[in-house]
Amino acid sequence: MARRRKNRFPERIDNVTITGLADKGFCVGKTPEGMTVFVEDVAPGDVVDVRPFRKKKKVLFTAPLRFIERSAERVEPFCQHFGVCGGCKWQHFAYSGQLREKERIVHDAFRRIGKVEVEQWDPILGSENIEWYRNKLEFGCANRRWLTTEEIGTDIDNEVPVIGFHKAGAYDKLIQIEKCHLQHGPSNELRNGLRELAKELNVPFFDMRERHGLLRQLMVRTTTTDECMLVVAFFEDDRERITTFLDAALERYGSQISSLYYCINPKVNEYLMDLDMVHYAGKDHVTENLGHVHFRIGPKSFFQTNTKQAEKLYAIARDYAGLTGEENVYDLYTGIGSIALYVAEQCKSVTGIEEIAAAIDDARENARQNNVSNTTFYAGQVRDILTDEFARKHGAPDVLITDPPRAGMHPKVVEMLLQLAVPRIVYVSCNPATQARDLALLSEKYVVERARPVDMFPHTSHVENVVKLRRINL
């Protein structure tokens, strides 16, 4: 007879006080005995009884069973899909509280991970808009919709075409989104209209389990210049049906579509940036402004998702750089040259490095379009390009700006920064944990003079942080 496994965790834990926000929609909770647990679907200030459902590295992840007290900072969510769609986890928590918690998360990362001292903390910069702030969204298309717990067992039919977002953690479960409050412009009307159009034309929606069908994904880009780019991903290269659908879309929504592309995605994953994009109609780009700089944005261009807040983020970075017009600046992980072009008029020269070749093509074209002649861009891995020989060729930098991906800078890049001993470094990060790690490594030659968190994504756990580093006089 098989032995029963002992429970790895208790069935319930009572009187958990929620003390702060954590990652991926969870909150941090403390038991009366001082044990830390993570709790979903709660807010700081709540007191709850919880049910553990997962244990990871000795930490319990739990769900609320009963609310003993509710936080005074709770607010009414504005979106009809809140609690089902996993996109905006903190709509039920006051924005002032979100900012306080995000600021704490950055400070804690510096203290715990990097053990980094900051000479001056500037206050977190909140987003002017907490709705309608995104300029890009990607939606999945499927031949059946996900049913909520309440809908299961009712006469609601799930065998209907859907365009929306994946349920968190489920590749084959798609939530029909009627109205999303994230993206401005024609995004909602276009998404819902294309769903109805595909149904009228009997275009088969993608089956995520059996892997057949045609209509698979939509990507919508909107701009503050009132332009809209639509990218439609199909599962199969059925040219006749694709042409019929896209022509009908242009006939019905052509006045709202500035640029139309399509691609074929037969892969298991939904990543689009490695696919060939076919320009079908309209312009081959849309235009966006960041302050005095105009950017051409194509279907594969990386661009900060919150345009208005990105301008403020770059203004902070430029202020921290302390430019006078005479500096030789390096811009690492430059993307389409957004920061490089933003600061170019206030320095002598800017040299940007980015691993994605298509982004560098965009950077060079954006420089040309803006009549900026003091920038040079290189495509390749930063760790391979940034060498002694590179510094000799372009001159030692007076200021270095770095904006790496979430994983932070490669150790070889950190070593090279220490070797270059640049007088000032401005480090822009979307991940305070890896930023704190890198700053600890740089502390051999640098002190953190100033730091300021910036909230780019209200109602989520994400937060950016800008740091100014000053070289120690050795």
Listed as own residue / partner, the contacts of 125-128 with beta carbons closer than 8 Å and 24 or more positions apart are 125/309, 125/312, 125/313, 125/316, 125/452, 125/453, 125/454, 125/455, 126/95, 126/99, 126/455, 126/458, 127/306, 127/308, 127/309, 127/455, 127/456, 127/457, 127/458, 128/308, 128/309
List of residues 6+ apart from 100 with CB closer than 8 A:
none
List of residues 6+ apart from 40 with CB closer than 8 A:
25, 26, 27, 61, 62, 63, 64
Sign of CA dihedral 142, 130, 288, 368: negative
**Helix axis angle, 187-200 to 239-253, nearest 10°:** 130
Helix and strand numbers (H, E) in the chain are 10, 22
Are 228 and 220 a contacting pair, CB within 8 Å? Answer: yes
- If you ran DSSP here, which 8-state letter would residue 228 be given? E
Listed as own residue / partner, the contacts of 386-391 with beta carbons closer than 8 Å and 24 or more positions apart are 386/330, 386/332, 386/353, 386/413, 386/416, 387/416, 388/419, 391/420
DSSP letter string, 23-38: GGGEEEEE-TT--EEE
Are 339 and 314 a contacting pair, CB within 8 Å? Answer: yes
Residues paired with 344 in a beta bridge: none
Q: How many CB atoms lie within 10 A of CB 78?
A: 13
Are 454 and 312 a contacting pair, CB within 8 Å? Answer: yes
Annotated active-site residue 85? The verdict is no
- Assigned token pair, 69: 């007290």
Selecting among 88, 228, 263, 430, the annotated active-site residue is 430
DSSP letter string, 411-469: HHHHHHHHHHT-SEEEEEES-HHHHHHHHHHHTTTEEEEEEEEE-SSTTSS--EEEEEE
Q: Catalytic residue positions?
A: 430
